[in-house]
Structure 1
Amino acid sequence: MVAAQEKFNLDALIEAARKEPPITVYAVTGKIVDTTKAFSEKYGVKASGKKVNEATQIELMIREHQAGNVVGDISLATDVASAMGQLLPEGIAMSWTPPDLAVDISEKYRNPLVVVSDPHVWTYNTQKYDKCPVDNVWQLTEPEWKGKIAMLDLFDKPLYADWFNQIEQHHDGDMARAYEARYGKKLETGKESATAAWVKAFAQNGPLLSDSTTVANAAGTPNQANPFFVITSTAKYRDNITNGLKLGMCTDIKPFAGFLYPGFGLIATKTKSPNAAKLFIRYLMTEEGIAPQTVDGKISGNSKIRLPADEPSGVTAHLGRLMAFEAATAGDDLDKRESWQDLWRVNYRK
């Protein structure tokens, strides 16, 4: 194994990796199959990819660690809160940043290593509207949008409950100011946060909770009289090209046009192929390795890697309008996840 203290030598890492057993990579995207194949062909190191959702990745990593039988050597773009609250502090997984690429990786993205960030953006139907019909998230609590909003199911995709917690922890003042900008008066909540007040009112307006394809179609299907207004991953904007959807990003909505959800690259601490795992992590931090995901608008943790010019959402010009998740407080997101889900459940009205 290449010791962390030694001066990094890529050739030595490749040589060591070739002597190790094949690796398996868990990822939330099916593109991981082609990525591992390309990696194997490039380096002569056997690797396979499996599409596994966030919650199942966490469960598998924990069970395999406890059994001492690691199948998934790498967990890619897993549940951030669970990674910070369980996998890393309990020694189930570890983070490694390629030393030769570290200069191009922001310090806040190095530990844990953020391989990609997934933009989730407020989205409207460009065929129905000449411009985004919403300029403030508090509009989404008003009667006009009752039953006409959609997003991923926060009980199936808890990153949305974590998003609420991130807003409250780091941007509650922005939510209060957005209210004042909309209504011309200060928000009175008593002891409740502005974020909690918005979540309650938002839930009471009956958003449709569903999977990513249903949410994207609800907004972007052509020739709708009353399309939904949604928040979805920019990865769905590829359907503008492949399926003729009419998805458009709301770039000026207050206080944020959406959020950036980080995707960690974590290595199982009990892997029998630590060098192969590190080599694959490094591959993902190169333009070649992450290209299958950047075409979907996902942002590489390597600052030198840009999105393709023809990426359909156009998010690259508006990254400053997205709320960035703070990984350092993600453990708190895990602790409070059920509380946000309960708040939603109690206030939800169809």
Structure 2
Amino acid sequence: MRKVLTVLCCFFLCATALSGCSDKGTKEPEKQPDNAQTPSESTGGIDQTTFEELLQKGIENGKKVTVYSTHSVVVSGCEAFKNKYNLDVEFECTQIGDTNQITQVAEEVASGAEGADLIFIQDGARVMSDLVDEGYVYNWYNQEIYDLVGADTEPLLVYDYCNKVFIFNSDNVKEEDLTNIWYVTDEKYKGTVQMKDPYSEGVNMDFLTQITSDDYAAKLEAAYKDYYGTDLVLDSDCPNAGYQWIKMLYNNGLVVGSSDGDIAQAIGAEGQSEQWSALITLNKYKKNLDKGYKLGFASSVTPFAGFIYPIYGLLTSNADNPDMAKAFLCWLFTEEGWFGNGELKINDGSVYNGMTGRFGDYSGNTNLKVTDGDKTVKEWKSILVEEDPIYCSEHRADVEDFINLIK
């Protein structure tokens, strides 16, 4: 059951709103302008509307702002933002996974039903093909966001970067044992490598898709020779080294799980003799390490130590209060929006801490500091596979079909 937090606190209003019981239920969806994915040329390029102007327009509009997010911090951020500016505008913020978000947003916008103004969502392949290309959501940023985020405003605005790395049971495996990504295909580790099922975790399927691109496949081919000492010979059904790595991973007994957190605890339990390892989020690694589980992670893996993927912030094309949604989006890229200020409260009276102290979450505004002991986005990008939502949307179906045949 997804968690729904409504800034005005009335749970029956949440249920009513989500069922579409409002005058918006009969509203025809607005066609998104052809130039919605990039700022209008008529304004000289990037939208010059300021945060203060957006906030004022949103107040004048007065309609409710509805936000869907895969990340719980955004939900509490809605409350903090509303309380900071003492807004009469209602905020309804829902934590909902990317698969359900995609289905729900597509249905709501297509029918003109009440729904989200702003979404925070991962799985770039499906976001591009099912939402952006269909005109249900669009990419937006103003000059203020661009000055903070730069190139990561396109093709989709990155709100948050997350990463998945190879973790292992530190009682049985040493980091120097895992220095080449082809280890997952080695008979020595047969049946001991885990990851969340790519068919239920879109970003995992995007990772497998991304490594079939020419650049990453070439890196994998070179790494194969480093590990095995011979040139890679492709199977007839493998177009390149990316496909070959996927095939050999599955054929070596990949264990698929349903939760990164559960996998971390299974890997890190004391008293095991197996050389367990897994590809999971750094955030889950750190949380369970702090609970006493025996975990380490490998960051010196050839040619890459995992992958980094975005949570995107996007506007829906039939938003009721787009200006207030944009103002909230702007605020999230500020230091206060990301970390809080030590005083800003949410509705239960606790202090809004945002992403303070979290491993594995990195703002699209890379000027903001990362948690002590973590790496910067730039450092992570240099050692991880980076998701390209356009490539993934164009090639993911091919990879899904391939895995169906070989698993």
Distance in 1 between residues matched to 2:164 and 2:130, nearest whole Å: 25
Contact residue 149 and residue 228 of structure 1 kept, 8 A: yes
1:100 is displaced (CA, Å) by: 1.4
C-alpha change, 1:305 and 1:126, in structure 2 (3 Å) is same
- Which residue, out of 46, 49, 53, partners 1:8? 49
1:70 is displaced (CA, Å) by: 3.2
- Partner residue of 2:222? 177
Distance in 2 between residues matched to 1:293 and 1:41, nearest whole Å: 18
- Partner residue of 1:97? 141
C-alpha change, 1:207 and 1:315, in structure 2 (3 Å) is farther
Q: What CA deviation, in whole Å up to 9, does each residue of 1:26-68 have, x standing for no partner? A: 1112333312111111222432321111111100110000110
Instruction: Name the stretch that deviates more: 23-32 or 262-271.
Output: 23-32
1:222 is displaced (CA, Å) by: 3.2
- Partner residue of 1:287? 335
- Partner residue of 1:327? 389
Matches within 5 A, 1:68-83: 68-83=112-127
- Which residue, out of 195, 203, 224, partners 1:159? 203
1:83 is displaced (CA, Å) by: 1.4
SS of match in other structure, 2:249? helix
**Any gaps of 5 or more consecutive residues in structure 2?**
1-38, 340-353
C-alpha change, 1:290 and 1:53, in structure 2 (3 Å) is same
Contact residue 37 and residue 48 of structure 1 kept, 8 A: no
Distance in 2 between residues matched to 1:24 and 1:242, nearest whole Å: 35
Structural RMSD (CA): 2.2
Contact residue 297 and residue 315 of structure 1 kept, 8 A: no
Distance in 1 between residues matched to 2:314 and 2:280, nearest whole Å: 25
C-alpha change, 1:101 and 1:66, in structure 2 (3 Å) is closer
2:300 matches 1:237? no
Instruction: Name the stretch that deviates more: 270-279 or 82-91.
Output: 82-91
SS of match in other structure, 2:72? coil
Distance in 2 between residues matched to 1:246 and 1:34, nearest whole Å: 31
SS of match in other structure, 1:106? helix
Matches within 5 A, 1:332-343: 332-333=394-395, 336-337=396-397, 339-343=398-402
Contact residue 117 and residue 263 of structure 1 kept, 8 A: yes
Contact residue 147 and residue 207 of structure 1 kept, 8 A: yes
Distance in 2 between residues matched to 1:7 and 1:344, nearest whole Å: 46
**Structure 2 residue identity aligned to 1:11:** E
1:245 is displaced (CA, Å) by: 2.3
Aligned residues: percent identity?
24
**Structure 2 residue identity aligned to 1:147:** G
- Partner residue of 1:215? 263
**Structure 1 residue identity aligned to 2:279:** I
**TM-score, normalising length from structure 2?**
0.78
Contact residue 308 and residue 380 of structure 2 kept, 8 A: no
2:363 matches 1:300? yes
C-alpha change, 1:139 and 1:241, in structure 2 (3 Å) is closer
Distance in 1 between residues matched to 2:168 and 2:152, nearest whole Å: 32
1:284 is displaced (CA, Å) by: 1.9
SS of match in other structure, 1:48? strand
- Partner residue of 1:30? 72
C-alpha change, 1:131 and 1:306, in structure 2 (3 Å) is same
Q: What CA deviation, in whole Å up to 9, does each residue of 1:254-311 have, x standing for no partner? A: 1101111111101111011001110111122122223334613212111211212155
- Partner residue of 2:308? 260
Contact residue 96 and residue 111 of structure 1 kept, 8 A: no
1:104 is displaced (CA, Å) by: 2.5
Distance in 1 between residues matched to 2:117 and 2:68, nearest whole Å: 8
- Which residue, out of 41, 58, 62, partners 1:17? 58
Distance in 2 between residues matched to 1:302 and 1:139, nearest whole Å: 35
C-alpha change, 1:315 and 1:12, in structure 2 (3 Å) is closer
Distance in 2 between residues matched to 1:296 and 1:35, nearest whole Å: 18
- Partner residue of 2:187? 143
Contact residue 194 and residue 256 of structure 2 kept, 8 A: yes
- Partner residue of 1:228? 276
May I ask how many residue pairs the two structures share in their alignment? 341
1:319 is displaced (CA, Å) by: 4.0
Please identify the structure whose Cα radius of gyration is greater.
Answer: 2
Instruction: Name the stretch that deviates more: 316-325 or 231-240.
Output: 316-325
C-alpha change, 1:123 and 1:92, in structure 2 (3 Å) is same
- Which residue, out of 243, 262, 279, partners 1:196? 243
**Any gaps of 5 or more consecutive residues in structure 1?**
none
Contact residue 141 and residue 153 of structure 2 kept, 8 A: no
Q: What CA deviation, in whole Å up to 9, does each residue of 1:146-176 have, x standing for no partner? A: 1111101111113222212211114110010
Distance in 1 between residues matched to 2:140 and 2:299, nearest whole Å: 34
Contact residue 267 and residue 277 of structure 2 kept, 8 A: yes
